[in-house]
Amino acid sequence: MTFEECLTGTVDPVHSIILVISETVVDAKQAVDALGALAHENRLAIYRMLIEQGPDGLAAGVIARRLGVPPSSLTFHLQHLLRAELVTQRRVSRQLIYATDFTAMNGLVAYLTENCCGQGGAGAVCDPAASGAATAACTATAA
């Protein structure tokens, strides 16, 4: 999917299915859980770091070193993000790798903006795809 396709909505059928799924996953309770999980400085920093890293994610030890967070505190924060279904966890040998769940992220953004400006009445001002962050999220979903 190209940047222009993401903005104009001219997306091939496979990617449009991905986008439709990402826009329908979040309900009010899930949004509250996700926003609550992000409402802490360390968790928000972890989440932003994982978004920047992309789908490959990072090992817990790397996250702890980069943020200067003790391992026990990091585990607490990562578990909070996992319970909110904002990140995924996988084991590679002896390491736990955490990555952003981009479908959940896009679903949250879609939920927050679905009735923006009276359902799009203000045009590009309300279009999340007009922002750089949403464009990056759209591109990451397509990858």
Higher pLDDT, 106 or 118: 106
Tell me which residue of 36, 46, 51, 28 sits closest to 115, measured CA to CA: 28
54 confidence band (pLDDT: 50, 70, 90): very high
Task: For 56-99, write each residue's pLDDT tens digit.
Answer: 999 999 999 999 999 999 999 999 999 999 999 999 999 999 99
Taking the C-alpha atoms of residue 14 and residue 131, their distance in angstroms, rounded to an integer, is: 23
Q: How many domains does the chain have?
A: 1
The CATH number covering residue 22 comes to 1.10.10.10
List the domain range (segments joined by +) for residue 83: 3-142
Let me know: does 34 contact 25? Beta carbons within 8 Å.
no
